Every structure is written in C-alpha cells, then in structure tokens.
Structure 1
Amino acid sequence: MESSVKTRLVEVVVPVHNEQRALRASVLRLHTYLTSTFPYGFQITIADNASTDDTWRLAGELAAELANVRAVHLDAKGRGRALRQVWSVSDADVVSYMDVDLSTDLDAFLPLVAPLLSGHSDLAIGTRLSRASRVVRGPKREFISRSYNLLLRSVMGARFSDAQCGFKAARTEIAQALLPAVEDEQWFFDTELLLLAERHGLRIHEVPVDWVDDPDSRVDILRTALDDLRGLTRVARRTLSGAANLPMPARVREARLPRGMAHQLPRFAIVGVVSTVAYLLLFSLLGLMMPVLAANAVALLVTAVANTAANRRFTFGVSGPAGALRHQVEGLIAFLVGLALTTGGLALLPDDVSHEVRLVAVVIANACATLVRFLLLRVWIFHPSRRTSRRPS
C-alpha cells in the first residue's frame, strides 16, 4: 500500500519574482515538511518569472541541492504565465501552487490534494473566508477581499468562497483541459480558471486554512483591483456569447443563465459602467467641496436615480409614466444598500490613506451595491408580475 501511495505524484509550483529574500528559507521549509509528513510523491518547481535580482541563481542552487526540487525560468512576468507553463507540461497526477511567503499553514496541503487524488473533486482551493479559518490581516485587505468575492458570487454566480488565496490545486488532466481557454497571465488567472471550471460543472473542493498576512507583500492593490474588474467584464462577455466551451467528461453539464438574463445583463452592465464613471467624477468633484462621506452620499443618490430610470427603460423594457414613482422609491432601497457598503468601506480606511486606495475601496463597494441593485430590479422592482407598462419588443 505504501509503495502505491508513493507512485502518485503531486507537483507544487512556487511562482517567484524578485524573491531573493524569502526564497531559500521558504523552499527549505516546504521541502522539509513534505519529506517528513506528506504520504505521496512530490515535485517542487520554482517558477522564476523574469526576476532581476539573485532569485534565479538561488533557485538553481536549491534545485542542485535538494531532491525533488527543480527550477524553471520565464523571460516575462506573471503568476498566471508561470503556472500555465509548468502545469501545461506536467506529468504529475495533481498540480498545485502556493505563494513563496507560505502565508498558508502547510498542514492544510494534504486535505487540499487528497480529494483530487481520490477522484472525488476536480479542483481544490484554500479559503480564508470560512468560519473555520484563522486569518491574521489588516482591515483594508479584509474589506477588499470580501468585497471582491461578494462581487464574484453576486454577478458571476460563483459558488466558491475565496478566489484569491494563493493555495490551490487541480487534477492535471482537468487543469490542462481548462488552460487553453484561460486568457489572463497575471493575478486574475486563478479567478478565471475557477469560473471556467464552474461553468463546466466541475467540482471545486474548499479547505479552511490558517493564514497570516505577509507584511512585506508588494502587490499593487490599485492595479490588481482594476485588472480584476476588467477580467470579470471580459469573462462575463465571453459567458454571455457562449465562448470558451471546452470538451469535458460526459457527467459535466454546462451552467446556463436564468431566462431573460442573457439580454438583461449586458444592457445592465452598460448602464452600470456609465453610472460608475458618473459617480466617480461626481464623487471626486464634490470631495473638493464637502466632507468625503457627504460627497459619497450625494454622488450615490444622484447616480442611483439616473441608474434606476435608465434600467427601467433600457434593461427591463418598461416605458410610460405609470409606476415610475414607485420604481424610484423602491430603487432607493438599493441606494441605501450602496450607501451602507460604500460608507462602511470608507470608514474602515485609515485617515492618511491615499486618494487612489480610497477610490479602489469605493469602486469595489459600489460594484457590490450595483449587483444588489440588479437582483432587486430583476426579482422585485421590475418583475413581470409587477409591471404596469411594457415597451413593445
């Protein structure tokens, strides 16, 4: 039995870029842990993506020094790019990755890969948002993480709880089937892979993890947040168009949107983009003349009224004056939700935070409020059973 277990191979990829400070200690710790406790065969692959410091040299030294450790060099940056290159040619049974800072407790690794090796699940992720998880990180990162995952669940219908935790695994055959349809090469790679997997009905196993934030993290929060929002827009567009359908096992059934949503979502998205731009411009202008919280409330109220009116006619096909006042009054409920989300997000930020970070916070909170608005508009305010006037097709 022991020999058959050892013949199963798990490849652990550690993507790195300019990580000379942490690389050696982290790989030694990981190698020692897997050698002493992991019951399956393993391969650690250090994927250096375009480092300009001594990372590549150190990776080569570790590969020469330690059994089951190898190093791969890429000429371009990108965590997604590194994972794609290694996973696409892997001959392991399961491919996985973890961040070089090892923020996630390694005791969660065996529970992560075991359901994949048994064939019970297709992909597995560590989640920091489970009640059983123990997480140490600042309020800003906590707010951004929860808002982003709420956005995924509300708009994209995602059922997984944590898209951003750097602790994931997949059956190799499944990963290699999905990779051709994953476009992103950076931080959004994880989210796109998981959304694609759910679209094709694949099983995603979640493991609560103990996680400690790395105080030396150099992730550009503003740029990453904007890239993620662009990625979500692209994936939503491809989903609506029916693109990226891949050959999958017979048991897999493709997820479908509820009736009517296929034409409502893109129209709602257009109205939402225009409203968000108007909100940001108004918020920035009013912020020069009044307190931040007051500027946020006024900007949100003005754009909420305009948003309800535009969606009433353009998205849900309701015209004429009948019911217009009622629609606006009910739309104010979504306004109050948005006000609570954005005000709460601003209140969590330190007083000395930069204007760019403040804008990221309100964009994420406003996006969450927008999703709540769509659900309220669809299932309550403009539900067909409550419409009093309908524009002809």
Structure 2
Amino acid sequence: MNEQNAGGARQRSVEIVVPVYNEAHVLAGSVGRLHAYLESSFPFPFTITVADNASTDATWQAALDLTQRLPHVHAVHLDAKGRGRALKHVWSRSEADVVAYMDVDLSTGLEGFLPLVAPLLSGHSDVAIGSRLHRQSAVQRGAKREFISRSYNLLLKAGLAARFSDAQCGFKAVRTEVFRALAPHIEDTAWFFDTELLVLAQRNKLRIHEVPVDWIDDPDSRVDIVRTALDDLKGMRRMFKQTITGRARIAAVPHRTRTTTPVLPAGAPATSAEHLEYAS
C-alpha cells in the first residue's frame, strides 16, 4: 500500500473499512462506487477493506467477489457481530498511515473524504469526524432521528464535557499510531465504540478535526435505536467513572508530527479468539 512518488519519497496511505452485516444486496454497488470515486479523485494510495460482521446471508461471498474484481479491495470475516469489534481488529493491524471507516450505504457524500483525512495525513490533527450537526452540513433525515442525534450529543456535552459535535456519524478517521495507543483502552465492540474513541482522544488532548458533510438518511438502516440508546447510556456512565478516577488518561499516546507530504488537490492522479478469514 505504501507507494513512492516520482521523487522516491514514500507516500502516506489510507485504509478505509466498510463494516457490514447482511448487506449482500447493496455491497457490490456501494463498494464499486467508492472504489471508482477514490481511483479517480483521491490523490493518495488507498485500500478498501470490507469487514463482514458474522453475516448470515451472502455478504461474505459478495465481499470475496469484490476482492477478485477490484484491485484495491480486501476483505475480512469475523465470526462475532459488532461494528466496533470489526474496526478495532482491522485498524489495529493496518499498515496505512491513516485508518477510516464509512457506512456501506454511503449516506455521507464522498466529496467529504479528502477533507476528512487530509489534516491527519499532514500531521495537523489526530482524529477526524464528519459532522451532520455542523452549521454548513446539508442533511436529509426524519425528525425522529434528528431529535435522537441532537439529544445524544447534548448528553455527551453535559455528562462527559464533550467538545465534538457528532459522535454517531459513520464517517471517521484516525492516525493509525494514535489508534494503536488508544485501542487497548476501548472496551465497547458495538455502536458506542465511536463515542469511546472520541472521549478518550479528547481526554488525552488529541486534536479532533470536524468536517461538515452532506448526508442522506438510509431508510433501510439496521440500527435498533432503543437498544443502541440504552447501550450508549451505559457506556457514558462507564466513561464518566473512568474520567473521574483518571483511568481515561493514557501515557503512551504519540504526539503529532508535521509531514512535508503535500496534500494534493482532488482529482490528482494516484501515483481475539475469534475465527478470522481474509481475502485480498
């Protein structure tokens, strides 16, 4: 993945994880669209990893087919569910400089991806998130989801003094070395994983970059809103206890280092005991 430019310098690279559970009906179309976009518009070496969270339909076979058809696509299969579990597994083992993820429905506009990862590739920031609550974001979703999202983020601000605006948007990136330092301290393996990552980053004085996004709600979302909300509240209580006891502070978090690698304009040519299966 780590290629060299014309001058012989190593180019910084990105690995994008697409976590999936029973998404055989949309996987090929979504990953194909993402792959085509990145090949034509993304100026850094990249890999797309489809992370199958113990699907019971034909998702794994669809992922294998994509690895045969598209040169930058890899796949990993886990025998246990959990988006956080899949991200933690792939991100911890990545050889890329920056790791990211996005939802398979591609609800977030892909035009926001380079602005998301550029501050991490340049060394300016440590974590980057897409924010649907930014005043410049363009969001299409129902009133119920809007209310839940804003209420959750208000709770984070009140209970955990969160300074980031949208913990739940499925469009995030982090410097790989930073994630490796934080990973052993992230306990959640499901939806609270994102919040836990962000709270730990903030508690350890890491820089979180926010990007306004264009976002269209997916009516076929598989998220159980009630169960997820209850799990989030439990996670917040656990994080609050960690904060007041000082256990949220991590000694070995790496500091930012500026790189001389230029961020090229969009459109420039790209020069657990669980059983796991890989394809690449």
- Equivalent residue, structure 1, for 2:100: 96
- Tell me the distance in 1 between the aligned counterparts of 2:95 and 2:248: 25
- Tell me the alpha carbon deviations over residues 214-237 of structure 1, each in whole angstroms, 9 at most, x when there is no partner: 011121000000000000001101
Which residue identity is paired with 1:36?
Answer: S
RCO comparison, higher one (Cα < 8 Å, 6+) = 2
Is the contact made by 2:178 and 2:254 (CA closer than 8 Å) also made in structure 1? no
Is the contact made by 1:127 and 1:161 (CA closer than 8 Å) also made in structure 2? yes
- Equivalent residue, structure 2, for 1:32: 36
Do residues 208 (structure 1) and 175 (structure 2) align? no
Do residues 193 (structure 1) and 197 (structure 2) align? yes
Do residues 45 (structure 1) and 49 (structure 2) align? yes
TM alignment of 1:37-116, pairs within 5 A: 37-116=41-120
Given the superposition, is the C-alpha separation of residues 28 and 242 from structure 1 closer, same or farther in structure 2, using an over 3 Å criterion?
same
Shift of 1:9: 1.1
Given the superposition, is the C-alpha separation of residues 18 and 122 from structure 1 closer, same or farther in structure 2, using an over 3 Å criterion?
same
Do residues 155 (structure 1) and 159 (structure 2) align? yes
Q: Which ranges of 4 or more aligned residues in structure 1 deviate by more than 6 Å?
A: none
- Tell me the alpha carbon deviations over residues 221-259 of structure 1, each in whole angstroms, 9 at most, x when there is no partner: 00000000000001101111121432245869xxxxxxx
- Equivalent residue, structure 2, for 1:231: 235
- Tell me the distance in 1 between the aligned counterparts of 2:209 and 2:30: 26
TM-score normalized with structure 2 length: 0.87
Name the SS for the 1:198 alignment partner.
helix
- Tell me the distance in 1 between the aligned counterparts of 2:44 and 2:255: 28
Do residues 171 (structure 1) and 182 (structure 2) align? no
Name the SS for the 1:131 alignment partner.
coil
- Tell me the distance in 1 between the aligned counterparts of 2:72 and 2:10: 13
- Tell me the distance in 2 between the aligned counterparts of 1:251 and 1:88: 18
Do residues 182 (structure 1) and 186 (structure 2) align? yes
Which residue identity is paired with 1:205?
Answer: H
Which residue identity is paired with 1:188?
Answer: F
Is the contact made by 1:127 and 1:206 (CA closer than 8 Å) also made in structure 2? yes
- Tell me the distance in 2 between the aligned counterparts of 1:123 and 1:44: 19
Q: Which runs of 5+ in 1 are unaligned?
A: 253-393
Which residue identity is paired with 1:184?
Answer: D
- Equivalent residue, structure 1, for 2:264: none
- Equivalent residue, structure 2, for 1:217: 221
Kindly tell me the number of residue pairs found equivalent between the two proteins: 252
Q: Which runs of 5+ in 2 are unaligned?
A: 257-280
Do residues 18 (structure 1) and 16 (structure 2) align? no
- Tell me the distance in 1 between the aligned counterparts of 2:132 and 2:76: 29
Is the contact made by 1:13 and 1:47 (CA closer than 8 Å) also made in structure 2? yes
Is the contact made by 1:13 and 1:96 (CA closer than 8 Å) also made in structure 2? yes
Given the superposition, is the C-alpha separation of residues 5 and 229 from structure 1 closer, same or farther in structure 2, using an over 3 Å criterion?
farther
- Tell me the distance in 1 between the aligned counterparts of 2:50 and 2:11: 22
Is the contact made by 1:99 and 1:167 (CA closer than 8 Å) also made in structure 2? yes
- Equivalent residue, structure 1, for 2:136: 132
Which residue identity is paired with 1:75?
Answer: D
Given the superposition, is the C-alpha separation of residues 61 and 150 from structure 1 closer, same or farther in structure 2, using an over 3 Å criterion?
same
Is the contact made by 2:204 and 2:253 (CA closer than 8 Å) also made in structure 1? no
Shift of 1:102: 0.2
The alignment yields a C-alpha RMSD, in angstroms, of: 1.5
- Tell me the distance in 2 between the aligned counterparts of 1:5 and 1:62: 30
Shift of 1:68: 1.0
Percent identity for Structure 1 against Structure 2? 65
Name the SS for the 1:120 alignment partner.
coil
Which residue identity is paired with 1:71?
Answer: A
Which structure is higher in helix share? 1
Shift of 1:83: 0.1
Is the contact made by 1:192 and 1:235 (CA closer than 8 Å) also made in structure 2? yes
Name the SS for the 1:72 alignment partner.
strand
Which structure is higher in strand share? 2
- Equivalent residue, structure 1, for 2:260: none
- Tell me the distance in 1 between the aligned counterparts of 2:21 and 2:70: 21
Which residue identity is paired with 2:241?
Answer: R
- Tell me the alpha carbon deviations over residues 66-105 of structure 1, each in whole angstroms, 9 at most, x when there is no partner: 1011000000000000000000111100000000000000
Which residue identity is paired with 1:69?
Answer: V
- Tell me the distance in 1 between the aligned counterparts of 2:10 and 2:224: 40
Given the superposition, is the C-alpha separation of residues 201 and 41 from structure 1 closer, same or farther in structure 2, using an over 3 Å criterion?
same
Is the contact made by 1:6 and 1:41 (CA closer than 8 Å) also made in structure 2? no
Name the SS for the 2:17 alignment partner.
strand
Given the superposition, is the C-alpha separation of residues 251 and 168 from structure 1 closer, same or farther in structure 2, using an over 3 Å criterion?
closer
